[in-house]
Amino acid sequence: MSNLWVIARIIGLILTIMVYFQIGPEWIWSEDTGGLILYDLILTLFTMFLFAGFLLPFFNRLWTFRICRSTFNSYYEAAFPIAR
């Protein structure tokens, strides 16, 4: 891992501890900022990433990808035209 990645992880750990134990200024740990992420959004995000990580291999390998691609291809090409 690069040094920047390690520093970002350490800063995230420090901020998480500050929110959980309500240490530091209130704008970090209030229910409108850090508390919202730690107590409300984390369960939703964890569930979405868990299901996405489980279903994505099936979606890419099986026939569902072909069905979705053929269904939405015309909409995608209309929304994002590419000069050929």
Integer Cα distance of 69 and 26 in angstroms? 47
The predicted model gives 53-71 an average pLDDT of 74
What would the two tokens of residue 20 be? 């959980």
Give Cα 41 to chain centroid, integer Å. 10
Give residue 67's pLDDT: 76
pTM more than 0.85: no
The predicted-structure confidence for 1-58, as pLDDT tens digits, reads as follows 799 999 999 999 998 898 889 898 988 888 888 888 888 888 888 898 898 888 877 7
Integer Cα distance of 19 and 40 in angstroms? 13
